[in-house]
Structure 1
């Protein structure tokens, strides 16, 4: 039976509460175990391009007693609704009209990645027979439900009843998370698992996520493995890989992911984690291929488009970067999932293309974001970078030099991070390639390299950021080698029986470079050999002051800024959207 044609323009129906009279109609269907008052307070979102299907779903929800039902035809509009308000129930069609490249699965994936779908929300995918297998896969991954067409009101009622009942059963866990009592919430999950109480599998997933956030990686891995023994769920296998990766066991994580991808080649979250492992190994080209695959599986995912575009940009794949970043901006510019670093990189590409109008659109987008958050240092830096690129394209050389100097003055500022360093390197490389004379440029590049060459992937990201000017790349490689030499030289003192000398040397080098890796090494050496250091109190105070100045060591790359949730992770009930 053919479906009626979907409307060509988006239709958004405002929330319409069910009337009290309708809620008390004799003979109406009800969700057992849920009070009339609770149903009246429920909010539901129906996402379906087909007006007939949408009307039927809405009517069935109201017949069941759901108090407020909101309707929309397009997943992008639904995403915007979910960004600004909470819903207890979401009913989403899997396929939309032919003009939509964004499916219900893409929406579910993006909502989970951006932590816009609380774990307690009931998300039901509605599908036809032909897509049954795909929806089962999505439902299993997200621990949600599905409805297979044609379905009855009774089937819908049963799905909602089961999911709402789960929320009641696990309420103590959600309340603990809401109160930020993560330890207690994790313990409640473990107790439910051990006793094999109702919904123990759901509780196990929440518990494993909590353990990862508490950095109890070995326990999280053990919990995921316990789940796998009962049910070889893809999310549990991915959880094992995440625990291995986050505890520094990259080869093990890689093996786990290779096995998972071999058996689940369409599980996009697995490619996200694999890409991050490859970046940690310094295999940037392989990581781009992996992110490219993830994007192909979820073509409307803003986050994955941004990741692919960012890495393609740093690898000099300008055409691919432009296409991915442009699409991310087109479908996500008004979304909380959108990261404005996308417009910075797109602005650089528009400069390379000498497209002043497109560059100005990028600058205007960042300016609007800055108006909404004027105190954001990150957005302020973005606006400054794009402003400099704009005046350079206008060939206002004096203004270009002045603005670059102003930005370079912040290189040693505490809030100036690796992302900022990469953006400034990208700017410096283009300014120099544009034949603008910057006598201090090489010194600035060296300062950035010494500060942020904290790991192999971080150093490689810095080198890639300067790819349009190879001499800067050589300087950056030299700074990474220098940081390694300084670390080895200091640690040789400890091996020779002078741990106090090692700590002091590391402190001196960290202070002169601002390198957090050296500062962390000093702190670890001090902790290990504190009893053997005469003026331990003074040294400890110096380490604390230095760490406060340069910040904590972090493995975050610019691409990590795009993630509000680890791939495969969950939004917990108390997480901020």
Structure 2
């Protein structure tokens, strides 16, 4: 085996004997920089402080010192919260022969998984194979991490020639890099090239994703239906298929798709959460209750628990008329979650739903006031919860509270509550007067932010200026002055600091909207030319 003296390894296993055995095996393979965690929570805390080359994780973390979370859920948290990178080797260790657990682990694509019992040579061989692959791919990963996607794309071809055994890995990585810079057609061509040689599920899924990105949801849906029929364990295909159903106005089909996925792989918390949300929207309270009960149970030992899961479970139970059950969920929320303003908002909102169901309108209104007050101090609440809270406030004639919740949601540019969504809440409630008032406030704030952006730009803070411009766009998305300022500011940043695909897409969208709203605008032609110059400068196709 190669020189492993500098490798760092984290063992995640609740069994002290197994940790000792693994450390001994690693030492025999020349790996001495080894640390341990007895459960998922400890692993998360250690990975938040430092990175490791290799993670050896027991699937069943519910042993004597475990915290109930399994290895699949830990991997889900680590990937979602970006506590591990593409170059981190994650090897799942399991003696479980249970079908759905193996599928769940596989769908989150650990680097490898090893069935117990295994020998020193077997573990060493798996680690060696993973290290060889990492060494081949690392230069491309590093270029991508440095913000040089076009160089990384070019490096894929060179690296594939040097390491032909990983040719498919490089094709896949190249396609993903094209997607990262918005070149979906080029990525699609690579996926089609792969599919012409071999019917690989990841290539079909990648092609479907490029179709969705290009607005071809119907074609993507047809492809995904074929994919899940041919590859019933390709779990991510079900998630994308559900999204396509939603985009095409078929929420019942989306729910049915996720229900099928959950029946095959029942451990993915985020899929269960999405299924519960769809069921609530579709008026299927029993299905929503089943899903959120599982979410609350499975996430109980996660470092990233979300009190909104309890709120949604309360909604489902209240809708079904299960008042005692809903009260029990609220008590569990109070006992089991850390105190925080987010928890205060969720607890008060849940109590309001319960009091409303019990016919206590005055108590419900009081809880809604408390929830709205707490929500104004929390950035982490979802748009879904904020909108629901505002609607509930309006139903109780709590106009000021509803306006405050929506205005704060709008001021949080990362919160994804758009101006149209915010004002739509009031229009649907029969309160266009409140919508007009909010519109005036948002336009005034947008003008202030344009001035702030000018000041930052004059001080040389190009990124800060763009951030202020994006906040102004969030406040007043239909304002021509804001559109022009946002497109111009982004193009200035791209010119000075390098290509940023996400920002470039925003600029392109604003130019398109400007052209549709005012084809003769005096700044339109110049912005179009600046955008083309930027693409030529950085070698962006199209």
Shorter-chain TM-score bucket reads 0.5 to 0.7
Give the equivalent residue in structure 2 for 1:65: 30
Say if 1:351 and 1:359, in contact at 8 Å, map to a contact too.
no
Moved more, 191-200 or 247-256: 191-200
3-state DSSP class of the match of 2:131?
A: helix
1:387 to 335, 348, 354: 348
Say if 1:253 and 1:277, in contact at 8 Å, map to a contact too.
yes
Flag the 1:524–1:442 CA change in 2: closer, same or farther, 3 A: same
| CA-CA distance at 1:310 after TM superposition | 1.8
| CA-CA distance at 1:166 after TM superposition | 1.9
1:521-542 alpha-carbon deviations (Å, 9 max, x no partner)? 87425347977346x58999xx
Q: Does 1:331 find its partner at 2:319?
A: no
| CA-CA distance at 1:385 after TM superposition | 6.4
3-state DSSP class of the match of 2:90?
A: strand
Give the equivalent residue in structure 1 for 2:530: none
Structure 1 unaligned blocks of 5 or more: 1-30, 371-378, 449-457, 480-510, 541-577
Distance in 2, Cα, partners of 1:97 & 1:401:
38
Distance in 2, Cα, partners of 1:224 & 1:416:
39
| CA-CA distance at 1:145 after TM superposition | 2.6
2:185 to 189, 212, 218: 218
| CA-CA distance at 1:217 after TM superposition | 0.7
Say if 1:106 and 1:298, in contact at 8 Å, map to a contact too.
no
Counterparts of 1:128-207 in structure 2, within 5 Å, are: 142=109, 144-193=111-160, 197-207=164-174
Taking structure 2 as the reference length, what is the TM-score of the superposition? Answer: 0.64
| CA-CA distance at 1:260 after TM superposition | 0.9
1:409-431 alpha-carbon deviations (Å, 9 max, x no partner)? x9xxxx999953x4354235545
| CA-CA distance at 1:245 after TM superposition | 0.8
Say if 1:106 and 1:301, in contact at 8 Å, map to a contact too.
yes
3-state DSSP class of the match of 2:11?
A: strand
Give the equivalent residue in structure 2 for 1:44: 10
Give the equivalent residue in structure 1 for 2:388: 426
1:278 to 224, 229, 245: 245
3-state DSSP class of the match of 1:321?
A: helix
**Highest RCO, 1 vs 2 (Cα 8 Å, sep ≥ 6):** 1
Say if 1:102 and 1:300, in contact at 8 Å, map to a contact too.
no
Give the equivalent residue in structure 1 for 2:339: 368
3-state DSSP class of the match of 1:38?
A: coil
Flag the 1:215–1:417 CA change in 2: closer, same or farther, 3 A: farther
Q: Does 1:532 find its partner at 2:520?
A: yes
Say if 1:88 and 1:122, in contact at 8 Å, map to a contact too.
yes
Say if 1:182 and 1:210, in contact at 8 Å, map to a contact too.
yes
| CA-CA distance at 1:93 after TM superposition | 4.8
Say if 2:393 and 2:401, in contact at 8 Å, map to a contact too.
no
Say if 1:343 and 1:366, in contact at 8 Å, map to a contact too.
no
Say if 2:393 and 2:399, in contact at 8 Å, map to a contact too.
no
Give the equivalent residue in structure 2 for 1:123: 90
Structure 2 unaligned blocks of 5 or more: 409-417, 436-471, 484-508, 528-542
Counterparts of 1:300-449 in structure 2, within 5 Å, are: 300-332=267-299, 335=302, 338-346=305-313, 348-349=315-316, 353=323, 355-356=326-327, 358-359=329-330, 362=333, 368-370=339-341, 379=342, 383-384=344-345, 386-387=347-348, 390=351, 393=355, 395-396=362-363, 399=366, 420=383, 422-430=384-392, 436-437=396-397
1:255 to 218, 222, 234: 222
2:3 to 28, 31, 34: 34
1:48-75 alpha-carbon deviations (Å, 9 max, x no partner)? 76x7665543321222122244456766
Distance in 2, Cα, partners of 1:111 & 1:317:
32
Flag the 1:361–1:321 CA change in 2: closer, same or farther, 3 A: same
1:496-520 alpha-carbon deviations (Å, 9 max, x no partner)? xxxxxxxxxxxxxxx9x97747977
Counterparts of 1:76-91 in structure 2, within 5 Å, are: 85-91=50-56
3-state DSSP class of the match of 1:170?
A: helix
Say if 1:47 and 1:92, in contact at 8 Å, map to a contact too.
yes
Say if 2:11 and 2:55, in contact at 8 Å, map to a contact too.
yes
Taking structure 1 as the reference length, what is the TM-score of the superposition? Answer: 0.60
Distance in 2, Cα, partners of 1:265 & 1:514:
44
Distance in 2, Cα, partners of 1:138 & 1:185:
29
Aligned-residue Cα RMSD (Å) equals 5.2
Say if 2:104 and 2:268, in contact at 8 Å, map to a contact too.
no
Distance in 2, Cα, partners of 1:110 & 1:296:
21
Say if 1:47 and 1:74, in contact at 8 Å, map to a contact too.
yes
| CA-CA distance at 1:344 after TM superposition | 4.1
Distance in 2, Cα, partners of 1:429 & 1:61:
57
3-state DSSP class of the match of 1:91?
A: strand
Distance in 2, Cα, partners of 1:464 & 1:443:
12
Distance in 2, Cα, partners of 1:334 & 1:126:
20
Give the equivalent residue in structure 1 for 2:496: none
| CA-CA distance at 1:98 after TM superposition | 11
